[in-house]
């Protein structure tokens, strides 16, 4: 393709071989600079995007589609889309692997990733915006084509129909500036259009050669342009950001080619050699950029390999692991996984291997952990069967009144129950209720039969009635909680009441709940004495259940916070959540203290 550079030199230089040699050297250097700049840009883009997480990728995709010029960011959006799709696919595969590891048929696997709906919506919205942008680009390119064709007509008229007295120098400057600033046209139109423009520009220079005054003016103007370009290139040698220097150098070569030609023969080779030498020095700095990226990628590779090694170590414990070990390890592995994903890119040739090592190690950890809990479920099932036998023995003897035999039997049953290990969580409360009811039935019957002669039930009712009346007078003033605790302790130390008055217990419990609510205290936090062994056991069970529920609620809230980048109380949207977590932790500490007191017999 004929260029402006070629055409002007053909007209100005008598030796065509010399022209060919110079234009080849200039064009080659410009091409090399452009090529290396593009390589550097590619390295930088890959480096920047490599450490983005799924949440950040979706956030950036949403940010793009909310901009006015969303459609033109196709390349960036596509990179983010591929990154997000990659994460979603891998996480779904992990779930599928866990599903199969649990002994399920892989063909029955079904799982919808939580981010899939948002991801699909963002892709569809961008596709619509990009289509709209493309249509707008086509219309804009048609306008630009008409505009450029008009510029060519002006150029043609400048050397074919110039009126006497017209300032050719000023006119050609305006035409070249208009051409440089004109917008893009379709690629299919550009080649012919560009050739046409430079053909008529060559014709103009041929005409201009007949007018030495205008030619010298053109030479002088272009030489000044070259000197400005060389001066700016010299400044770029000290630019600290290598990528910025390379990008601007590419632009300077474009200016040289389009706006700094031709010049007088005596300056042509000298200025070009000076510019080319500076360009080569700047270009040599690209190795600094590559070296910096290579160093950073090697550091990232070492860090990621350390993470992989730590996960592998966690999946191969030196001693027999227990439940606490695996719970702590699960939390640590999740932290390591997040750290791995946030760590920067690694050398491209090792990227796939590093990622596969990470996924393989992660799956090995999950397999070992799952195998542990499978074996645990087996032992829990054996414990369940053992406790069911104890329940059956208790039920068979709960109405037996041979006290010398049955009282020691039930005490032993209670001791044996404590020695049996954990059972499946879904059955814990159910079997405990059955065992407790059988034991309570027996001991209530035993106390009723053995203490009837000594219990003054009517006096007990009178005392309980007085305590109920006293409880009803409690308000939420200072010291009310201590008063409630004193009433409850006194109540616990009073024996039975007549059967026709037993409803007083229900009324007392209802009133107690109302007063506790008024004073904003949980029943399980109440300090009381005089509880029987069964009552203490029942209270401990309730506290354990509430502790478990609170721990689950806190974990869920903290998991929700993890979806935000750098969550803190300073964020107005998250302040309530942090406060809720603090309140629940405080409540949790109180319950744990109460449970400890019960277990320790305090």
Confidence tier at 23 by pLDDT (50, 70, 90):
very low
Closest CA to 33 of 259, 293, 295, 275: 275
Angstrom distances, CA of residue 560 to CA of 54, 84, 553, 574: 15, 20, 11, 10
pLDDT at 31: 36
Tell me what pLDDT residue 566 has.
75
Cβ 176 vs Cβ 254: under 8 Å: no
Dihedral sign for Cα atoms in the order 270, 273, 278, 281: negative
Instruction: Tell whether the model's pLDDT for residue 42 goes beyond 70.
Output: no
Kindly report the number of other CB atoms within 10 A of residue 426's CB atom: 7
Domains of the chain, by residue range, sit at 52-100+112-210, 434-530, 531-601
Does 301 have pLDDT greater than 80? Answer: yes
Give me the pLDDT at residue 115, please: 86
pLDDT of residue 228: 92
Dist CA 594 CA 551 (whole Å): 16
Cα–Cα dist 312/373, whole Å: 18
The 10s digit of each residue's pLDDT in 165-218 is 677 778 888 888 888 888 888 888 888 888 888 888 878 877 766 567 777 777
Given a cut of 50, whether residue 65 has pLDDT beyond it is yes
Per-residue confidence (pLDDT) for residue 375, from 0 to 100: 75
- pLDDT higher for 2 or 305? 305
Please state, in angstroms and rounded to a whole number, the distance separating the CA atoms of residues 570 and 579: 12
pLDDT (0 to 100) of residue 379: 79
Quote the pLDDT of residue 100: 75
Q: For residues 359 and 90, is the Cβ–Cβ distance under 8 A?
A: yes
3-state secondary structure 130-178: HHHHHHHHHHHHHHHHHHHHHHHHHHHHHHHCCCCCCCHHHHHHHHHHH
Q: In this predicted model, what pLDDT tens digit does every residue of 398-421 receive, in sequence order?
A: 888 887 888 888 888 888 888 887
Q: Whose CA is closest to 245, among 309, 253, 343, 112?
A: 253
Give the residue from 498, 479, 497, 481 showing the smallest Cα distance to 489: 481
Residue 387: φ, ψ to 5°? -70, -30
Encoding tokens for residue 242? 């290598």
- pLDDT band at residue 452 under the 50/70/90 scheme: low
Give the integer Cα–Cα distance in Å for 311 and 309. 6
Asked whether the bond before 262 is cis by omega within 30 degrees of 0, the reply is: yes
- Over the stretch 518-552, which tens digit does the pLDDT of each residue have? 888 777 667 666 566 666 777 778 778 878 888 88
As a whole number, mean pLDDT of residues 465-494 equals: 83
pLDDT, tens digit, 9 for 90 and up, residues 312-336: 888 888 787 887 888 888 898 889 8
- The C-alpha atoms of residue 284 and residue 306 are separated, in whole angstroms, by 34
């Amino acid at each position: 393709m004929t260029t402006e550079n070629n055409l002007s030199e053909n007209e100005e230089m008598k030796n065509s071989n010399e022209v060919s040699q110079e234009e080849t050297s200039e064009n080659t250097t410009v091409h090399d600079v452009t090529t290396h700049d593009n390589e550097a840009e590619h390295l930088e883009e890959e480096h920047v995007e490599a450490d983005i997480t799924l949440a950040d990728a979706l956030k950036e995709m949403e940010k793009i589609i909310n901009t006015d010029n969303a459609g033109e960011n196709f390349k960036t959006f596509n990179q983010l889309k591929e990154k997000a799709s990659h994460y979603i696919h891998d996480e779904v595969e992990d779930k599928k692997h866990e599903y199969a590891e649990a002994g399920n048929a892989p063909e029955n696997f079904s799982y919808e990733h939580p981010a899939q709906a948002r991801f699909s919506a963002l892709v569809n919205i961008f596709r619509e915006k990009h289509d709209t942008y493309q249509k707008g680009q086509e219309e804009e390119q048609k306008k630009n084509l008409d505009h450029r064709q008009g510029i060519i007509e002006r150029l043609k008229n400048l050397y074919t129909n110039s009126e006497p007295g017209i300032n050719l120098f000023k006119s050609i400057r305006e035409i070249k500036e208009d051409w440089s600033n004109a917008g893009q046209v379709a690629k299919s139109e550009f080649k012919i259009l560009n050739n046409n423009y430079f053909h008529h520009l060559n014709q103009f220079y041929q005409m201009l050669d007949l007018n030495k005054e205008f030619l010298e003016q053109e030479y002088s103007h272009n030489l000044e342009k070259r000197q400005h370009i060389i001066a700016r290139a010299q400044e770029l040698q000290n630019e600290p950001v290598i990528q910025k220097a390379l990008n601007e150098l590419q632009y300077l070569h474009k200016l040289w080619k389009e706006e700094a030609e031709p010049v007088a023969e005596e300056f042509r080779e000298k200025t070009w050699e000076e510019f080319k030498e500076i360009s080569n020095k700047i270009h040599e700095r690209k190795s600094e950029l590559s070296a910096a990226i290579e160093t950073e990628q090697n550091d990232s590779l070492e860090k990621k390999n350390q993470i992989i090694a730590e996960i592998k170590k966690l999946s191969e414990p030196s001693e027999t692991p227990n439940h606490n070990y695996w719970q702590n390890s699960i939390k640590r592995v999740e932290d390591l996984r997040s750290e791995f994903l946030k760590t920067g890119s690694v050398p491209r040739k090792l990227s796939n291997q590093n990622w596969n090592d990470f996924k393989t190690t992660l799956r090995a950890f999950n397999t070992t952990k799952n195998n542990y809990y499978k074996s645990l479920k087996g032992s829990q099932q054996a414990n369940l069967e053992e406790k069911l036998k104890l329940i059956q023995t208790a039920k068979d003897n709960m109405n037996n009144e041979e006290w010398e035999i049955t009282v020691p039997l039930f005490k032993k049953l209670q001791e044996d129950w404590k020695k049996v290990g954990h059972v499946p969580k879904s059955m814990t409360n159910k079997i405990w209720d059955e065992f407790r009811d059988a034991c309570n039935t027996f001991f209530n019957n035993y106390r009723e039969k053995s203490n009837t002669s000594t219990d003054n039930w009517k006096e007990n009712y009178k005392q309980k009635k007085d305590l109920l009346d006293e409880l009803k007078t409690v308000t939420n003033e200072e010291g009310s909680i201590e008063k409630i605790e004193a009433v409850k302790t006194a109540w616990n130390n009073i024996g039975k009441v007549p059967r026709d008055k037993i409803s007083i217990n229900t009324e007392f419990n209802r009133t107690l709940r109302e007063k506790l609510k008024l004073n904003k205290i949980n029943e399980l936090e109440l300090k009381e004495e005089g509880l029987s062994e069964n009552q203490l056991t029942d209270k401990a069970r309730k506290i354990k259940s509430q502790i478990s529920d609170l721990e689950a609620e806190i974990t869920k809230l903290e998991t929700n916070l993890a979806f935000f980048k750098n969550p803190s109380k300073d964020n107005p949207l998250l302040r309530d959540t942090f406060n809720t977590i603090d309140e629940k932790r405080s409540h949790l500490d109180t319950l744990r203290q109460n449970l400890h007191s019960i277990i320790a017999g305090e």
